[in-house]
Amino acid sequence: MQRFEHVKDERLRRLLAHWLQLRGDRAMPARQDLDPVAIYYALPFLWLYDFIPPEDFRCRLAGEQIIDLWGKNPKGRLLRDIFGSHAEEVATRFLSAVRTRSVMHTDADVVTTDRVSVRGERIVLPLSSDTRNVDAILGATIYDWGKQRAKSGIFAAEQHQVTYTAIA
């Protein structure tokens, strides 16, 4: 875990450690390797997207806090339908993780349309059914709302610090 000292939230660190354990000697684990019981602590913040080559993603599942944040379940929807005007930026980050077979970590200052400022931390973990080509990404996003809470899940602006760590 020394290569991932920049990951601050303990739940994200635990999820990363679990992913590394599942990976073993392979470049990355498969979606089928995931055990929800083993990662119960992250389920509310968890999301999973299928990669649809060449450049799209479809939400396979989202945890309760992610659904609450957006106000509806994004399951089955494409990235562009979920993120609207921010979809290209999100897709660019996700595609970088897919193409470089890297763990992606972001630390962000976020402002919502309700003018709520919040800190967010995210991790994106590539998954592969053939251990070579990324066909899905597992992620978790945790926001520190402090005493405030947004009335909607619409983010007006995000300032990201993004780190990619190659895994293979």
**pLDDT, tens only, 8-50:** 999 999 999 999 999 999 999 999 999 999 999 999 999 999 9
pLDDT band at residue 146 under the 50/70/90 scheme = low
Report how far apart the first and last C-alpha atoms of the chain are (Å, whole number). Answer: 15
Q: Is pLDDT of 149 > 70? A: no
In this structure, what token pair is assigned to residue 146?
A: 């402090």
pLDDT band at residue 153 under the 50/70/90 scheme = low
Q: What is the mean pLDDT of residues 100-110?
A: 88
In this structure, what token pair is assigned to residue 118?
A: 């919040």
Q: Is pLDDT of 156 > 60? A: no
Q: What is the mean pLDDT of residues 110-134?
A: 83
Question: Do residues 119 and 110 make contact, with C-beta atoms less than 8 angstroms apart?
Answer: yes
Q: Which of helix, strand or coil describes residue 7?
A: coil
- Strand-pairing partners, residue 106, are 122, 162
Q: Is pLDDT of 2 > 70? A: no
C-alpha dihedral sign at 140, 125, 167, 52? negative
**What mean pLDDT is reported for the chain?**
87
Q: Is 21 exposed, middle or buried (0-12, 13-18, 19+ CB in 10 A)?
A: exposed
